[in-house]
């Protein structure tokens, strides 16, 4: 991402502003420090399996409906 905000900062901004939003984060940085993403986020290192992302989104939508 251009500028001073990266994906991790963006995920925290979204969680702070809209706590109910489910977050699926993909990054080329394969190793993240524990706790660097908001609680409840799902992380996928690139390259990732498209089916795994689709399944994560389906689970997030399913849990949001309950």
pLDDT in tens, 36-53: 889 888 888 888 899 999
Rounded to 5 degrees, what angle do the CA atoms 26, 7, 47 make? Answer: 20
Give the pLDDT of residue 66.
Answer: 60
The pTM is what?
0.74
d(CA 11, CA 23): 7
Residue with tokens 């994560």: 56
User: How does residue 19 score in pLDDT terms, banded at 50, 70 and 90?
Assistant: very high
Q: Which residue has the higher pLDDT, 14 or 5?
A: 14
pLDDT in tens, 20-37: 999 998 888 666 777 888
């Amino acid at each position: 991402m251009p500028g001073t905000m990266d994906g991790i900062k963006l995920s925290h901004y979204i969680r702070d502003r809209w706590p109910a939003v489910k977050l699926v984060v993909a990054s080329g940085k394969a190793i993240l420090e524990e706790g660097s993403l908001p609680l409840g986020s799902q992380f996928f290192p690139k390259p990732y399996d498209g089916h795994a992302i689709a399944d994560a989104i389906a689970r997030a939508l399913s849990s949001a409906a309950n």
